Amino acid sequence: MDWQRAKKIMLLILLITNLILFALILYRYENYKDKTSSGEFINKVSELLKTKDISLETKIPKYKLNMKSLNVEFETYDLDKMNSLFFNDLGIVSTTTRGNGRIDFKDSSFILINSRRILYERQKGQGYTIENLEDAVKASKDFLVKHGLSNTDMIITKMEKEEGQFIVEYRKLYDNKLLETSYTNFQMDKNGVKKLDRLWLNVIDESGRKIYMESASKALLSILEKDISDKKITKIEACYYFDPEEQGYIDDITKVLQGRAIPSWRIEFDDGEDLIVENY
């Protein structure tokens, strides 16, 4: 037997087999790849947005994402405990319905909505010396600690000085992505916190399977269906999204304390507004 010839034949067969496999893989890729991430499609999206005077000031992500959804729960509060933490048990507590009520103390008020949203306000700030935005950030974090509110996994999304008032806004962060809708917003004067608006989510765990997201360019098309015009898009990023009112969890959203945050796209505009596009 001519082993050299047999060896050449076997190598040739292997080569042909590999070429066929490569051709099949290429064929499947061309047929199944997401055309909405192509440069041509992105250019078309950009042109369509221009018809509503919306311009792109950032690059559209071309990468495909697969993310797990999250099981989340609202951080909840008790009026009596908040009276202790905020007013040393000296405030006047009045309850309207379960999970709803207010505390009044001198020039301050604390309103609790559905056990989960805090609206705190006082006529003048107190206890701090705030001269710049750096001081405002330090004061806001210290305020949270002193009043028993979590300040971990937070990222500043807005920080500005307006007519002698300091605005600092935080969002919840998980795995380097925003967890919407979860926020802690401060308004301060030179002496301390005047207003606090807080609705906070905590992550229980991740779901078992990953969800493949639609492309960012396809998500941008949803803007065309909204009453949005004459804006600049400054950021497009993946996020997690849980909002029982918008997502229509149950008829009585006041009873929702837990749920599922799904992977979504967050589109931010130059005026600070944003749009969450859910991934279905």
C-alpha distances (whole Å) from 71 to each of 77, 174, 270 are 20, 12, 31
pLDDT of residue 19: 60
What distance in Å separates the CA atoms of residue 44 and residue 46, rounded to the nearest whole number?
5
What distance in Å separates the CA atoms of residue 23 and residue 182, rounded to the nearest whole number?
48
pLDDT of residue 171: 95
pLDDT of residue 21: 63
pLDDT of residue 32: 43
Closest CA to 168 of 203, 201, 146, 142: 142
Task: Provide the strand spans (E) within 89-176.
Answer: 92-97, 100-105, 108-113, 117-122, 154-162, 165-174
Closest CA to 237 of 171, 190, 187: 171
Instruction: Tell me the pTM.
Output: 0.80
| Strand 117-122 relative to strand 274-278, pairing | unpaired
**Element at 47 (helix H, strand E):** helix 39-50
**Which residues does the chain have with pLDDT short of 70?**
1-9, 11-15, 17-36, 245-255, 280
C-alpha distances (whole Å) from 132 to each of 163, 189, 251 are 13, 10, 45
